[in-house]
Structure 1
């Protein structure tokens, strides 16, 4: 069930609906604000739209890297799990 949560991003209060817990929504809010502050501090321009676009691009790149890593490790994990299951079956 989705619940309304109030978050503040770049000083703007937003109402969002999420099935996540309030703690998780707060963690997401803190993460987003942290990334925006980090990128905003590195820019000479105070253009909020540019900060948002760069943060989105940066976060998307990190997500895709993590997803590729997970996909690359999946066969290794499956093989390790198979070995462990065989050991359990043999016991």
Structure 2
């Protein structure tokens, strides 16, 4: 009978294989760099939100900054959705 540690090792190994296969498939299907562009756009929106929060912490106008954060979040939501749907289509 397998031990708990051997089952965990098997699960870890299977997870590594699945991750490697996912990364290989993603690379093969993303020759245009579309997914990386989406990731960068999401990171840019996150950076803006972080700067807006820092401005708020420094005493900026809460009403104005809330609008900025809402705009950045509105930009980010469809990017996340597009990024997730592209990963699912390519891995499925």
Structure 1-normalised TM-score? 0.34
Larger helix fraction of residues? 2
Provide TM-score, normalisation by structure 2.
0.34
Which structure has more relative contact order (CA 8 Å, sep 6+)? It is 2
